Amino acid sequence: MENKLLYIEEHMSCQNYMTTIETGFKFIEFTEDTELGEDDTSKNYLLFFLKGDFTVSYNQFHNRTFQTGDMILIPRSSSFKGVAKKGGNLLSMFFDVPESSCDKLVLQSLSEICKEKEYKFEPIKIRYPLTPFLEILTYCIRNSMNCSHLHDLMQRELFFLLRGFYEKEEIAMLFYPIIGKRIDFKDFVMHNYTKV
């Protein structure tokens, strides 16, 4: 049995309630032939395809098909376009770098794996226990639970689940475009290269 968010006025009047999400999660529903995309992304987007088939082009990768249960990363400063031919929905997490220093260190430690692999922009499958995590997160967001603390906690929990239940090679291939020996420096360069 589903419950609705109680005391919504209290949530919305809190100083930590986000009316626009700059960093965090966003649930997006698409009608037939709905397009998505940006010419120059300002954040890294981790996309979780929850329902439907999507065709995505990003930088040099054109017309890749993704479906329910796939997750991909679109890195900052990318050009990407996508379309949901028959409609669908996805959950997007946008971020600069992981909030936790542990998560940054884990991604930095995967740079050696990335040296040995070729990046092909292929999806990683969403599997248990990520599935119920995404269901609960989607449910909270759809019920207007947009506290910045919730988004921060869920981002940290997501990285925790990835570290615990996905192989290092899978994590490395998912985050390949943003992995480096110094993630903060790489992010700084990607954020500022157009200004110099």
Q: What is the mean pLDDT of residues 160-167?
A: 96
Token output for 176: 């390949």
- Annotation: CATH topology of 25-195: Jelly Rolls (2.60.120)
Q: What is the mean pLDDT of residues 84-99?
A: 91
pLDDT value at position 191?
Answer: 56
Q: Please tell me the pTM assigned to this model.
A: 0.86
Distance CA 64, CA 81 (A): 10
pLDDT value at position 148?
Answer: 86
The residues near 183 (Cβ < 8 Å, ≥ 6 apart) are 97, 98, 104, 107, 108
pLDDT value at position 102?
Answer: 85
pLDDT value at position 196?
Answer: 63
DSSP notation for 153-168: HHHHHHHHHHHHHS-H
Q: 3-state class of 75 per DSSP? A: coil
Tell me what percent of the residues of the chain surpass a pLDDT of 70.
84
DSSP notation for 133-149: HHHHHHHHHHTT--BHH
For the chain, which residues make up each domain, given as ranges?
25-195
Distance CA 175, CA 177 (A): 6
pLDDT value at position 135?
Answer: 97
Confidence of residue 21 (pLDDT cuts 50, 70, 90): low
Confidence of residue 53 (pLDDT cuts 50, 70, 90): very high
The pLDDT of residue 12 is above 70: no
pLDDT value at position 93?
Answer: 96
Return the minimum-mean-pLDDT range out of 15-24, 41-50, 63-72, 121-130: 15-24
